[in-house]
């Protein structure tokens, strides 16, 4: 199946960017909380 350029521009989909952003924010908050609750000094 071959699509023309104009047909490719009409393709909609995704939502992966939103889920990646939410996952990144959650991971950052967990890391921040872990850093405050369990501080480990650098050598």
Q: What is the pLDDT of residues 4-32, one digit of tens each?
A: 888 888 887 766 788 889 999 999 999 99
- Helix, coil or strand: residue 38: coil
Continuous segment of H or E residues that includes residue 20: helix 16-37
> Global pTM?
0.56
Q: How far is CA 30 from CA 3, 13, 26, in A?
A: 44, 30, 6
- Tokens for 24, please give them: 């990144």
Distance CA 25, CA 19 (A): 10
Looking at residue 43, what is its pLDDT? Answer: 66
Distance CA 26, CA 18 (A): 12
Looking at residue 39, what is its pLDDT? Answer: 84
């Amino acid at each position: 199946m071959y699509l023309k350029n104009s047909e490719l521009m009409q393709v909609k989909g995704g939502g992966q960017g939103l889920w990646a952003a939410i996952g990144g924010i959650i991971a950052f908050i967990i890391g921040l909380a872990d850093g405050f609750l369990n501080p480990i000094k650098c050598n």
